[in-house]
Structure 1
Amino acid sequence: MDVAEIETGSDLITLIEKGQTSIFTRFYTSYFQKLLLASDKYLKDVYAAEELVQDVFLKIWENPYQLVEVKSLKSYLYRAVINASINHLNRQKNIEQHHLKLASTLTDEYLTELDEENEIIVLLRIEIEKLPAQCKKIFKLNRFENLKYKEIAQQLNISEKTVENHIGNALKILRERFLKDSHLNKRAKSYLMLINTFLY
């Protein structure tokens, strides 16, 4: 089958069913630049347009039977690319509106509190790294990877009681270091409540 003979969805389905990738590639090449221009007219971003056009063809290759009733592939391709371009713009618009809405809530007070909260989390992670090796490993598996005591015991070939003891020891050490840390101000100490997933 020649590229010029591929006019309907059925033609392309037959080509793909036979695994004629070289002809499909030529078909893709024959339309690519034109569809790229059509997409870029909307997106004004040639790289995003390239990705979008490639995605349209990839979906056709993966599921050609969506074309079974298509009488004109040319019309179908243009509609698919233009609709995908418009959907892309709509998604971007929604994202931008969401970001603008978030930005309007970023008061100085909020940013100060966020900075203090993040500082405590950084300090906490530093203290976790100072824990004894096995204790640290078990604590991180539990708190960072969400493994249960039984899963940790099986992975490390130790008893669940040993896991429980290491977790308890880690919590004791971390609580003591933070609650006795004189350089943490009252507000900073209050943020310990926000990291209960680590300390309790």
Structure 2
Amino acid sequence: MVDQVLPCEKELLLRVACGDEHAFSELFNTYHQLLGTHIYRITDSVELAEEVVQDVFLKIWMSRETLTAVQNFRAYLFVISKNHALNCLRKLAKERIHQKTLEENVTAMVPEDTSGLDTYYSLLDQAIDHLPPQQQKVYLLSRHNRLKYDEIAHQMGLSRETVKKYLQGATHSITSFVQSNIDISVMILIVSILFKKS
């Protein structure tokens, strides 16, 4: 076990601190796989682990001058990457809560009573049909197949951020379409049922 930076590694860090891109590439190649494995244990997501590794090394490069003061690079690397990974997980949890809220806004009009449901579901189908192809596919994979962001991203060859944006856009479009086209009598019926429940 190495408690401190080896002399050759200390020299490498100093070269990186001076803006040596080749040295930075060498540093990345030395640590990125080890770091990726470490982050995967925290996030349980290959895509998120890759994202964290890239972000951490970008951060190291952007603040490379501070490397001259680092005494234990491996420990330094693991601490900042763990913090970044936990921040990403917190952000992801918030996004999922937000997405759930958007989804509830779409389904909030659905009453337990079957009256008006046929109209509602018909409008829902029409709204989905009106979505752009990519948005529609993301929405169906999420809502019908119950796939997670990472799974949809992998299946469609998109980034997780793009999947999130498509899903938010689709949910917003569907909500607007249903609210704009639902018959006023059905709306009154649904609202009255919802008020009776409360």
User: TM-score scaled by structure 2?
Assistant: 0.48
Larger C-alpha radius of gyration, 1 or 2? 1
User: TM-score scaled by structure 1?
Assistant: 0.47
- Select the structure with the greater relative contact order (CA < 8 A; seq sep ≥ 6): 2
